[in-house]
């Protein structure tokens, strides 16, 4: 009979795997070390990071949270300001704090350690009032050491939790949908634990300690005399004063020049997030996952979804910032008089080219009408040479006799047939003199993926999945780039740039100028 591996501990699982592999029936099956199962589980579960950061940004946490540890805020206070669920926000903040990059918990307060809590509880005659885990950010001020604030506020009734529910969360917690504590008041030892974002005070066994821990027996209403006892066992005190933003978290603020917030919004909004659920359909049917999910292509979709459209355009700009300088510095655009950035987004790369190469006389950004409108609203002051041109790059370009065409992260959006069509239009727009060039800035995949490829290659392969799902596009190896470019009349002259994701660039010349 099949064993239930979910209920086995690691040793049992290993044994079971070994038994299975020594069985004559299964002898072809290799022994799999248990650690590999753990790695596989990690891979399967994946990371919550994109969704967590997206939610953080969408809620407005980076703008509401201080970056000063001294001004750390409880989740409950923050939730009140942001009008969201305190317990849920607490859990989200804890996860982000665990990721260790965006948010930290202030540990500098004077609050007691777990041991001190236990000692305090023992002095008061109770045991283990604090359950596993801290409870940072809960506004549990009802039982400060001096007893102040442990009001006999109307106790919410939770099952058998009656009188002692007077040990409630502070007033701000309630406003934030916070966590009143519950307790069984029938004489067992009391421990706190967390469940569904709430702190629970519950009976762990033993007798007679509940009152000492602050809970009168069930059915007995709290009396003023209960207050000092609650104070003696400080089950309700915050251990940590709250959360604050790290330097990296600061970059997620709306006003931060890096604009990285938009990348997290783009990746967390339905267009990107839901289409991942269609990976199977994409592979099974060869049909673009995005279209299976939304019934249209990505660019049609963003034209009628302004938040996603804006997030996409700004995310492109945000992730282009470093690359724009790299590209503008690494290739000598000053050899050309007219440069066109096809699908150039909001014009960041063209701006860098014009700044770095005063010899360039005119810079054009060819883009879809909605992107051009948004880019014009942004405005690039002092750049008279920069022109935004509405265009559909699947039609002949509205510019001609161009010295240099640059395309960054445009061709990877499209399958070979469309990419070749686009390239033919580019070929048609280039001047016929011998120095006209096409500069393609894209990732270059290895020809062969060997074991132990580095994180940059893994990232490229992940981008490849994204392209497949979102636009039927693809990342390409050098030989694939050669074939594609040749099909539109170009030959690669040079492969330049650091071997990093998306900043390798291919300089191509028309094969018959
Ligand atoms: C992946 S983004 C790259 C943007 C920019 N080159 C960069 O590096 O940040 C592709 C760009 O192609 C533009 N685009 C898509 N379809 C287009 C079309 N048919 N005609 C013109 N531009 C188009 C999109 O608006 C988008 O800005």
| Residue 72 shares a structural domain with residue 171 | yes
Contact 350, 371 (CB under 8 A): no
Residue 413 CA, ligand 1 centroid: distance in Å: 8
Q: Give, rounded to a whole angstrom, the gap between the first and last alpha carbons of the chain.
A: 73
Of the candidate ranges 27-31, 94-98, 101-105, 453-457, the one whose mean pLDDT is the lowest? 27-31
Which secondary structure element, helix H or strand E, spans residue 310, and what is its range? helix 306-330
Six-digit token string for 150: 């442990």
- Note the pLDDT of residue 199: 39
Cβ atoms within 10 Å of 513's Cβ, excluding its own: 11
Which amino acid residue places its CA nearest to atom 27 of ligand 1?
345
Look at residue 28 in the predicted model and tell me its pLDDT: 55
Instruction: Judge if 90 and 210 occupy the same domain.
Output: yes
C-beta of residue 71 within 8 angstroms of C-beta of residue 134: no
pLDDT for position 29: 57
DSSP 76-88: HHHHHHHTS-HHH
Do 67 and 32 lie in one domain? The reply is no
408 lines ligand 1 (CB under 6 A): yes
Higher pLDDT, 19 or 429: 429
The closest-lying atom of ligand 1 relative to the alpha carbon of residue 341 is 6
Q: Is residue 438, in this structure, part of any structural domain at all?
A: yes
Phi, psi dihedrals of residue 376, rounded to the nearest 5°: -65, -35
pLDDT classification of 417: cutoffs 50, 70, 90 = very high
- For residue 177, what pLDDT band results from cuts at 50, 70 and 90? very low
Assigned domain for 308 exists = no
What sign does the CA torsion over 83, 88, 89, 90 have? positive
Same structural domain for residues 236 and 114?
yes
Q: Which of 69-78, 454-463, 488-497 has the lowest mean pLDDT?
A: 454-463
Are 204 and 146 in the same domain?
Answer: yes
- Examine the domain organization and report whether 29 and 92 are in the same domain: no
Least confident among 23-32, 237-246, 398-407:
23-32
Of the residues 246, 270, 297, the one at which a domain ends = 246
DSSP letter for each residue of 27-80 = TTSPP--HHHHHHHHHHHH--SHHHHHHHHHHHTHHHHS-S-GGG-B-HHHHHH
Which stretch of 69-78, 271-280, 365-374, 453-462 has the lowest confidence by average pLDDT? Answer: 453-462
Kindly state if the Cβ of 470 falls inside 6 Å of ligand 1.
no
Provide the number of structural domains found in the chain: 3
Q: What is the pLDDT of residue 214?
A: 35
Of 299-308, 313-322, 400-409, 484-493, minimum mean pLDDT range: 313-322
Instruction: Give the integer Cα–Cα distance in Å for 353 and 139.
Output: 53
Quick one: pLDDT at residue 108?
67
Q: How far apart are CA 491 and CA 511, in angstroms?
A: 6
- As a whole number, mean pLDDT of residues 392-403 equals 97
Cα–Cα nearest to 165, from 203, 225, 124, 218: 218
345 lines ligand 1 (CB under 6 A): yes
Highest mean pLDDT among 64-68, 234-238, 493-497: 64-68
Best CA proximity match to 137, nearest among 182, 192, 203, 87: 87
Q: Please report, for residues 14, 15, 22, the alpha-carbon distance to residue 27 in angstroms, rounded to integers and kept in the order given.
A: 16, 15, 6
C-alpha of residue 343 to centroid of ligand 1, in Å: 4
Choosing from 263, 345, 370 the residue with most ligand 1 atoms within 8 A of its CB, the one to mutate for a pocket test is 345
- Mean model confidence pLDDT for the chain: 73
Tell me the residue range of the domain where 33 lies: 5-37
Residues 264-280 pLDDT 10s: 999 999 999 999 899 99
DSSP string, 98-157: HHTSSEEEE--S-PPPHHHHHHHHHHTT----S-SS--TT---GGG-TT-TT---PPPPP
Protein residue closest via CA to atom 8 of ligand 1:
408
**Lowest-confidence pick of 185-199, 298-312, 446-460, 464-478:** 185-199
Same domain, 28 and 53: no
CB atoms within 10 A of CB 58: 14
Distance between CA atoms of 400 and 393, rounded to whole angstroms?
13
What pLDDT score does 321 carry? 79
CATH number assigned to the domain comprising residue 408: 3.40.50.150
Pocket test for ligand 1, best of 298, 368, 391, 406 (most atoms within 8 A of CB): 368
Whether the per-residue pLDDT at 368 is higher than 50: the answer is yes
Residue 6 has pLDDT above 70, yes or no: no
339 lines ligand 1 (CB under 6 A): no
| Residue position matching structure tokens 């106790």 | 155
Q: Which of 42-56, 108-122, 196-210, 290-304 has the lowest mean pLDDT?
A: 196-210
Angle of CA points 159, 161, 167, to nearest 5°: 145
Residue 348 maps to a domain: yes
* Structure-token pair, residue 258: 């890096």
Q: Supply φ then ψ for residue 143, to 5 degrees.
A: -135, 60
* Residue minimizing CA distance to atom 19 of ligand 1: 392
Query: Which of 200, 216, 246 finishes a domain?
Result: 246
Atom 18 of ligand 1: nearest residue by CA position: 392
State whether 94 and 220 are in the same domain.
yes
Give the helix/strand (H/E) hosting 445. Answer: strand 444-445
Q: Using alpha carbons, select from 111, 399, 104 the residue that is nearest to residue 244.
A: 104
**Within a domain: 273:** no
Give residue 268 CA to ligand 1 midpoint distance, Å.
Answer: 20
Q: Whose CA is nearest to atom 11 of ligand 1?
A: 343
Residues 140 and 107 in one domain: yes
> What's the whole-number mean pLDDT along residues 48-53?
91
Going by their DSSP bridges, the two strands 404-408 and 338-342 should be labelled as parallel
With cut-offs at 50, 70 and 90, classify the pLDDT of residue 459: confident
Distant-in-sequence, close-in-space partners of 379: CB < 8 Å, separation ≥ 6? none
Average pLDDT over residues 231-244: 57
Within a 10 A sphere around the Cβ of 73, how many other Cβ atoms? Answer: 22
Whose Cα sits closest to atom 9 in ligand 1? 316
Q: Are the CB atoms for 136 and 243 separated by under 8 Å?
A: yes
pLDDT at 35: 79
Q: Is 413 in the pocket of ligand 1 (CB under 6 A)?
A: yes
Residues 6+ apart with CB under 8 A from 430: 402, 403, 405, 436, 437, 438, 510
> What is the mean predicted confidence (pLDDT) over 69-97?
91
Ligand 1 atom 24 nearest Cα: 343
Ligand 1 probe mutation, 343, 344, 423, most atoms within 8 A of CB: 343
Instruction: Please give the distance, rounded to the nearest whole angstrom, from the Cα atom of residue 281 to the centre of ligand 1.
Output: 26
* 74 and 163 housed in the same domain: yes
Task: Give yes or no for residue 392 CB within 6 A of ligand 1.
Answer: yes
296 within a domain of the structure (yes/no): no
In a domain, 142, yes or no: yes
Percent of the chain having pLDDT more than 90? 43
Q: Does residue 11 belong to any structural domain of this protein?
A: yes
Q: Is 136 in the pocket of ligand 1 (CB under 6 A)?
A: no
Of the candidate ranges 87-96, 449-458, 466-475, the one whose mean pLDDT is the lowest? 449-458
Shortest-distance Cα residue to atom 14 of ligand 1: 343
pLDDT classification of 450: cutoffs 50, 70, 90: confident
Structure confidence at residue 457 (pLDDT): 83
The H or E element that residue 370 is part of is helix 369-378
Give the domain-ending residue among 246, 276, 296.
246
Rounded distance from Cα 299 to ligand 1 centre (Å): 9
Q: Please tell me if the CB atom of residue 226 comes closer than 6 angstroms to any atom of ligand 1.
A: no
Q: Which residue has the higher pLDDT, 454 or 296?
A: 296
pLDDT band at 81; cut points 50, 70, 90? very high
Question: Do residues 78 and 139 share a domain?
Answer: yes
The CB of 391 under 6 Å from ligand 1? The reply is yes
Rounded to whole angstroms, the Cα distance separating 353 from 191 reads 64
pLDDT at 259: 87
pLDDT at residue 442 in the model:
92
Residue 398: pLDDT band with limits 50, 70, 90: very high
Instruction: Verify that 448 and 505 share a domain, yes or no.
Output: yes
Does 347 sit in the ligand 1 pocket, CB within 6 Å?
no
Average the pLDDT over 409-433 and give the result: 97
pLDDT tens for 323-356 read: 888 889 888 999 999 999 999 998 999 999 999 9
Report yes or no on 271 lying in a domain.
no
Instruction: Decide whether any atom of ligand 1 lies within 6 Å of the 343 Cβ.
Output: yes
pLDDT tens digits along 134-153: 333 322 222 222 233 333 33
């Amino acid at each position: 009979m099949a064993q239930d591996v979910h209920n086995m501990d690691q040793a049992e699982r290993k044994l079971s795997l070994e038994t299975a592999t020594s069985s004559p029936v299964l002898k072809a099956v290799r022994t799999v070390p248990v650690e590999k199962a753990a790695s596989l589980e990690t891979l399967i579960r994946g990371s919550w990071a994109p969704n967590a950061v997206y939610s953080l940004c969408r809620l407005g946490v980076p703008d509401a949270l201080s970056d000063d540890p001294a001004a750390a805020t409880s989740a409950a206070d923050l939730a009140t300001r942001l009008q969201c669920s305190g317990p849920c926000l607490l859990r989200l903040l804890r996860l982000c704090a665990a990721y260790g990059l965006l948010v930290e918990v202030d540990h500098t307060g004077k609050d007691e350690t777990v041991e001190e809590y236990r000692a305090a509880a023992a002095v008061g005659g109770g045991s283990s009032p604090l359950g596993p885990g801290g409870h940072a950010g809960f506004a549990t001020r009802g039982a400060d050491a001096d007893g102040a604030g442990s009001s006999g506020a109307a106790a919410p009734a939770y099952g058998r939790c009656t009188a002692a529910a007077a040990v409630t969360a502070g007033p701000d917690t309630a406003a934030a949908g916070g966590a009143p504590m519950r307790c069984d008041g029938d004489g067992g030892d009391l421990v706190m634990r967390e469940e569904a974002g709430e702190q629970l005070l519950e009976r762990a066994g033993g007798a007679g300690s509940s009152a000492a821990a602050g809970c009168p027996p069930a059915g007995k209403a709290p009396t003023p005399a209960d207050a000092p006892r609650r104070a003696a066992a400080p089950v309700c005190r915050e251990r940590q004063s709250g959360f604050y933003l790290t330097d990296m978290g600061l970059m997620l603020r709306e006003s931060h020049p890096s604009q990285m917030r938009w990348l997290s919004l783009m990746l967390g909004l339905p267009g990107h997030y839901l289409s991942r659920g269609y990976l199977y359909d994409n592979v099974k049917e060869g049909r673009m996952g995005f279209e299976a999910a939304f019934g249209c292509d990505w660019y049609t979709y963003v034209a009628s979804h302004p938040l996603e459209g804006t997030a996409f355009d700004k995310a492109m700009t945000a992730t282009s910032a470093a690359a724009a300088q790299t590209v503008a510095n690494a290739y000598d655009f000053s050899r050309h008089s007219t440069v066109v950035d096809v699908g150039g987004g909001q014009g960041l790369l063209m701006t860098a080219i014009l700044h770095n190469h005063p010899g360039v006389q005119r810079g054009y950004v060819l883009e879809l009408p909605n992107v051009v409108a948004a880019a014009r609203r942004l405005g690039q002051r002092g750049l008279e040479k920069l022109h935004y041109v509405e265009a559909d790059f699947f039609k002949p370009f509205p510019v001609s006799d161009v010295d240099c065409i640059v395309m960054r992260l445009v061709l990877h959006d499209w399958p070979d047939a469309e990419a070749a069509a686009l390239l033919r239009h580019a070929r048609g727009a280039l001047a016929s003199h011998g120095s006209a060039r096409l500069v393609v800035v894209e990732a270059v995949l290895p020809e062969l993926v060997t074991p132990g490829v580095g994180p940059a290659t893994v990232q490229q392969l992940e981008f490849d999945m994204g392209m497949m799902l979102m636009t039927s596009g693809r990342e390409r190896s050098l030989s694939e780039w050669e074939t594609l470019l040749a099909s539109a009349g170009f030959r690669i002259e040079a492969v330049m740039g650091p071997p990093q994701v998306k900043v390798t660039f291919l300089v191509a010349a028309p094969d018959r100028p």
